[in-house]
Each structure stands twice: as structure tokens, then as C-alpha cells.
Chains A and B, each alone.
Chain A
Amino acid sequence: DAKTTQPNSMESNEEEPVHLPCNHSTISGTDYIHWYRQLPSQGPEYVIHGLTSNVNNRMASLAIAEDRKSSTLILHRATLRDAAVYYCILAPGGTSYGKLTFGQGTILTVHP
């Protein structure tokens, strides 16, 4: 499985934008880039995913580098509820087998 590299931790202040980076230099052409987050004592929650183009949804934006070897999850205005572990994951395209390979993720701390 292609691997991703994320910083162990990041900090932000409430209502400020947060940019969470992810490196995936061995990504294949059909791999989708997924982001999940896990709040304390909960199961992971889907945030966003993309293939080649930048994506926006109600939770966040995903900026994908032109060579697809890195991506950035953008939280436009961090809230205390955004404090969580954020996972960047590569999911094989086509008929995949549902296997998500989670790394250690980035622990995001949001200060009031």
C-alpha cells in the first residue's frame, strides 16, 4: 500500500484557518486521497476526498498538488470541535477492497 506522511501534531487558534499537510510521493495514478478525522472516544469520520482536482465541501477543502505527491486539508475557520486526529489515506481506485491503511495521523489542537 502506498504510504502517507503527516506531521505528528499541529496547533491552531479558534476561528483561524488550518492547513494540514500530507505527503504521498508513491501515489499511483488511480489512488484517491481521502481524509478522515477521529474525535476523542468516537469512530473516524469522513471529511473529504479527491483524485486530481481541488475539492470543497461543507466541512473542508482539499488542495491537491499538480503532481499529486502531496495534498493539504484546509479547515477555513477552526472551532474547538475540530480538535481531533486527522488521517490522510490513499484508497485504491477501481473496485477496491475497502481497506484503508491508517497512519499515525496529525493531532490537531485548537486553542480558544
Chain B
Amino acid sequence: KAGVTQTPRYLIKTRGQQVTLSCSPISGHRSVSWYQQTPGQGLQFLFEYFSETQRNKGNFPGRFSGRQFSNSRSEMNVSTLELGDSALYLCASRPGTGGYNEQFFGPGTRLTVL
């Protein structure tokens, strides 16, 4: 099976712009989670989607949003970019919703905000 794919891999934006990142989960996986990784804060949970519904959200401002499509692909959007949004954005998928389900991470999208 193909792994989790994320596009684009690298992105450069300027302050005030918005950005959309895409994630394709492993085939058959219906749960997709998003994480932000920065040197200062480490890996932080953004939100999870399952069957097109947001199930949980981390402690991020409303500028961060996401959605999931019927084929389980997911997108996250960041509006009004700030310098502090520069980070590695990781997507992870899992087959089900039980706590015993491991998450499979993609390679990430490196976002740089200038």
C-alpha cells in the first residue's frame, strides 16, 4: 500500500496570505489528523477528521481550519499567515478510531512564512 502523501512538500508564503495543504491517507484509512511541528513547541495536535467530521481540535486559533472529503482526503487551511506559522505540518492517518490504532505519518509540508 502507498503511504500517506502530502502536497506540496515545501511552500513559501508571505505574511497575510493564506495557504492550503493537502493530505491523502493510506487507502482504507478514514481518520486523518494534523499536527504542527516547530523547534520551540515540538509536535502539537491541530485536529482530527473522521468520516468528513471534525472530531477533536487542538488549541490553535480559528485561522487554522480543515476539512475532509468523502474519499478521506483532507485539506488544512491557514488564513492570514503570521511569521510564527512557519513550521512542518504533518498529516497522519489511521484505520479506525480506537486508541489501539497506530497512526501513519506523512513526510510533512514545510511552510515558510516571510
Contacts and interface: CB of A to CB of B under 8 A. Distances in A.
Contacts of B50: 98
11 contacts: A34-B102, A43-B90, A43-B105, A44-B103, A91-B100, A96-B97, A97-B55, A98-B50, A98-B94, A99-B33, A100-B103
Interface of A: 30-32, 34, 36, 42-46, 49, 51, 87, 91-105
Contacts of A91: 99-100
A92 B99 CA distance: 5
Given A43-B92, A49-B100, A104-B42, 11 more contacts: A34-B102, A36-B105, A42-B107, A43-B107, A44-B90, A46-B104, A49-B102, A93-B99, A98-B48, A99-B48, A100-B35
Contacts of A97: 48, 55-56, 97
Interface size of B as a range: 20 to 34
A94 B98 contact: yes
A96 B99 contact: yes
B45 interface: yes
A51 B101 CA distance: 12
Contact of A30 (B43, B58, B94, B99): B99
B106 interface: yes
A28 to B, nearest CB: 11
Contacts of B66: none
B98 A103 contact: no
B45 to A, nearest CB: 5
Contacts of B33: 98-100
